[in-house]
Amino acid sequence: MKQKTVSLASGNGGAENRDLIEKVFFKHLGNEILARGEDASIVELKADGGCNVAFTTDSFTISPIFFSGGDIGKISVCGTCNDLAMMGANPKYLTLGVIIEEGFNVRDLEKIVRSIKKELEINGAIVVAGDTKVVPKGSVDKIFINTSGIGEPLVDGISASNLSEGDLIVVSRDIARHGASIFASREGIELENTIDSDCASLFPMVEAILNAGIKPVAMRDATRGGVSAVLNEWAVASDVCIEIEEAKVPVSQEVRGICEMLGFEPMSLANEGTFLLAVKKEDATKVVEILKNFEQNKDATIIGKVTSEYKKRVVLLSDWGTKRFLELPTGELLPRIC
């Protein structure tokens, strides 16, 4: 790495984050499975390949720990179960690691655990192992949570490296709500209408798509780095160009207002209940119809397509007929977002 110390930008889900992962972690720990860069890894537990599972892990350090639309407990289950769902896997078993600061309010802890229980029930998953650490005051900010998850793959072959020319790109709902909600809560911005985070479990939606006999080419929840990060990762992994019609990307008026006021790019803000799908052209309309059966997904829509005009690039098409590249996010966006 060019930089000598780790900066907050190294955790933004964008270019600096990728640099840290590739030049430190992959350098020493890289292997064929890790190099795939998926939300969850499909691993074989038996030499004959007779037992495959989806496996993932995630850590959560969000500030504030309670926000409009959720809390650190809810997001810790959503984050891990969603990563499994994005590989077409049914979440089954989670581990729960909790680091608690001395003096943390027990009522708040119970509230967080109740949120964990509720979200587990939505996914049909259970916690089967855990660990608790209490550290001196000032060692962590209130509470940090790590969850790892194992899921049962319901289909195979979903991958960021499988996109091909002609595939269409679908977004499940309006974007950037989580990032905007967290920033408004953190900075005490008072709005006429509260922006709720989109934090939600995605497996019920994925299950409905799979039950309809549709196999997505790729799926990815647009967390840190937002839609920009996902699209750029797909373009690089599949060696394709992804063209997005900017006007078709759904952004609520409240979120757009915050972004215009503060100079944020909605495409780069984090989401916690919004995902992108790459699907075959003949499946796209049906996928949108299925998504719209869920109340939060009323804005689900097709936003773009895969082409061969440029390699490994994402292009935004404006209503005015102009084009510009959508780059991987850089710099310090919103730290401690999940």
Q: What is the mean pLDDT of residues 249-264?
A: 91
State pLDDT tens for residues 267-283: 999 999 999 999 999 99
Amino acid of residue 320: W
- Token code pair at residue 155: 């289909």
Q: Which two tokens stand for residue 99?
A: 């680091």
Q: Are 149 and 83 in contact (CB under 8 A)?
A: yes
CA distance 210 to 242: 24
Pick the CATH number of 31-153 from 3.30.1330.10, 3.40.50.720, 3.90.190.10, 1.10.760.10: 3.30.1330.10
Residue 302 CA, chain-centre distance (Å), reads: 19
The pLDDT-based confidence of 49 (bands split at 50, 70, 90) is low
CATH architecture, domain 168-325: Alpha-Beta Complex (3.90)
Alpha carbon 62 to chain centroid distance? 14
pLDDT by residue (tens digit) across 159-171? 999 999 999 999 9
pTM of the predicted structure, to 2 decimals: 0.95
Judged against a pLDDT cut of 80, whether residue 192 lies above it is answered with no
Is 94's pLDDT higher than 90?
yes
Percentage with pLDDT > 70 across the chain: 98
Question: In what helix (H) or strand (E) does residue 55 lie, and over which residues does it extend?
Answer: strand 52-60
Per-residue pLDDT at 187: 75
What is the pLDDT averaged over residues 170-192? 88
pLDDT at 327 exceeding the cut of 80: yes
- Eight-state DSSP code of residue 21: I
Amino acid symbol at 76: S
Confidence check: pLDDT of 191 > 70:
no
DSSP secondary structure code for residue 30 in this structure:
-
Cβ atoms 23, 239 nearer than 8 A: no
Kindly list the domain boundaries of the chain, sorted by start residue: 31-153, 168-325
How far, rounded to the nearest angstrom, does the alpha carbon of residue 307 sit from its chain's CA centroid? 24
Residue position matching structure tokens 């109340």? 295
Mean pLDDT of 296-302: 98
pLDDT of residue 337: 87
Task: Please name every residue paired with 220 in a beta bridge, in sequence order, or none if there are none.
Answer: 276
Confirm if 246 and 186 have CB atoms less than 8 A apart.
no
Give the Cα separation of 232 and 244 in Å (integer): 12
The mean pLDDT of 296-312, rounded to a whole number, is: 96
Q: What are 316-325's pLDDT values in tens digits?
A: 999 898 999 9
Task: Give the confidence band of 77 by pLDDT, cuts at 50, 70, 90.
Answer: very high
In the block, tokens 């479990």 appear at 201
Which residues have C-beta within 8 Å of that of residue 84, sequence separation ≥ 6?
39, 40, 54, 56, 90, 91, 149, 150, 151, 203
CA angle, 164 then 284 then 287, to 5°: 125
One DSSP character per residue, 88-147 reads TEEEEEEEEEEEEETT--HHHHHHHHHHHHHHHHHHT-EEEEEEEEEE-TTSSSSEEEEE
Work out the average pLDDT over 73-100.
Answer: 98
**63 pLDDT exceeds 80?**
yes
* Biggest distance spanned by C-alpha atoms of the chain: 59
